[in-house]
Amino acid sequence: MAAPDGDRIFAGSVPQLYERYMVPLIFEPYAIDIAARVARRKPSAVLEIAAGTGVVTRQLAALLPPASSIVATDLNQAMLDQAAAVGTSRPVEWRQADAMQLPFADESFDVVVCQFGAMFFPDKPQAFSEARRVLRPGGAYIFNVWDGIEHNDIADIVTAALAQMFPADPPRFMARTPHGFGDTAVLRRQLAEGGFTREPEVTTLAARSRAPSPDIPAIAYCQGTNLRGEIEARGPGRLVEATHAAERAINERFGPGAVDGKIQAHIISVEK
C-alpha cells in the first residue's frame, strides 16, 4: 500500500525538532556507518538523496577529501534549510530534488547514497531506476532502511501508546512508512525492477537508541516526525497529551532514568 502524500512532507517546526532530538536518538549511528561505506569506495562525486537535516552529509564532508564533490538533496526545502544552518566542515552543494525525477545527467556520480529515505518513495522501482541512471558504470547505490517496527523498541512503544489514546483510528505513521519497508525480498525485487542486474549486498545491523530520560524520545517521535500531523489530525490540541502518553509508556518500559532501546536497520549496497 502506498504511503499518503503527507508522509513525505517535513515542515513547520518538525525540521528543528528532528535535528535536535531524532538525529542523536536514532540516525547518528547509522550515518557514521553508511558514510564510512561510501568513503571506502574513494568516490570523486557523491549524490545524497533524502539528506534531511544533513546528518550523513556532515559525516561525508568530514571523511571525503576536498576533491570529492558532494551534492546533498532532499524533497523538502525546509529540511535542507535546517541542514545548511547546521553546516558542514567543508562546502557541499545543497539542492532541492525529488528522488522520482533527479535533475542530473546520466552517469554523473560514483556513489548515490540515501539514509532512511527509500521508505518514503511513492514508486520505489522508479526511484531506484533514477539512482541507477545517474550512476557511472561500476558505481554503487548505498542506502539503508529500517527493519520492522517490532525490531525497533521505542518506535513500537510509542505507536502502541498512541493506539490506546486513539483506539478508533490509531496513528500508524511509524509502522506504515519508516518501518514499512523491512522485507528484504521485496527490496531485492524492486531493485531489479529499477534496472539493477547485480545482486545487492544486504547487511542487517542492530544499534542502540539512547536518551537521558523518557521525555526526550517522546518529544522526538511525537513532535519531531510526521507522526505529529497524524496526532493533530485526530486530536486538535492534544499533541502535548499524546507526548505525555508516549513518555509514560517509555517510562514503564525503561524506568524514569536513562533510556536504552534496540534499533535495527538493513544496509544495502548494489553496483551498476
Residue 26 belongs to domain with CATH number: 3.40.50.150
CA 181-179-43 angle, to 5 degrees, is 65
Q: Containing H/E element for 182?
A: none
Chain segment 133-155, per-residue pLDDT in tens: 999 999 999 999 999 999 999 99
pTM over 0.75: yes
Number of structural domains, the chain?
1
- The answer to the question of residue 253 being in a domain is no
Dihedral pair phi/psi, residue 143, rounded to 5° = -150, 165
- The answer to the question of residue 220 being in a domain is no
Q: Which are the contacts of 192, defined by CB distance < 8 A and separation ≥ 6? A: none
- The answer to the question of residue 232 being in a domain is no
Pairing of strands 45-49, 69-74: parallel
CA 147-149-154 angle, to 5 degrees, is 115
Chain segment 56-111, per-residue pLDDT in tens: 999 999 999 999 999 999 999 999 999 999 999 999 999 999 999 999 999 999 99
- The percent of residues above 70 in pLDDT, for the chain, comes to 95
- The answer to the question of residue 78 being in a domain is yes
Sign of the alpha-carbon dihedral angle for 62, 67, 70, 71: positive
Amino acid at 105: A
Question: Residue 104's domain spans which residues?
Answer: 5-149+174-208+265-271
| pLDDT at residue 4, as a whole number | 52
CB atoms within 10 A of CB 195: 14
Chain segment 160-206, per-residue pLDDT in tens: 999 999 999 999 999 999 999 999 999 999 999 999 999 999 999 99
| pLDDT at residue 120, as a whole number | 94
C-alpha cell at 90: 567543508
Is residue 9's pLDDT more than 80? no
Strand partners, 57: none
- The answer to the question of residue 244 being in a domain is no
- The answer to the question of residue 250 being in a domain is no
Q: Are 269 and 40 in contact (CB under 8 A)?
A: no
How many Å apart are CA 13 and CA 168, to the nearest integer? Answer: 28
Q: Are 198 and 140 in contact (CB under 8 A)?
A: no
- The answer to the question of residue 160 being in a domain is no
CB atoms within 10 A of CB 168: 5
Sign of the alpha-carbon dihedral angle for 182, 104, 14, 220: positive
Chain segment 194-211, per-residue pLDDT in tens: 999 999 999 999 999 999
- The answer to the question of residue 260 being in a domain is no
Radius of gyration of the chain (CA): 18
| pLDDT at residue 8, as a whole number | 40
C-alpha cell at 214: 523518557
How many Å apart are CA 19 and CA 10, to the nearest integer? Answer: 12
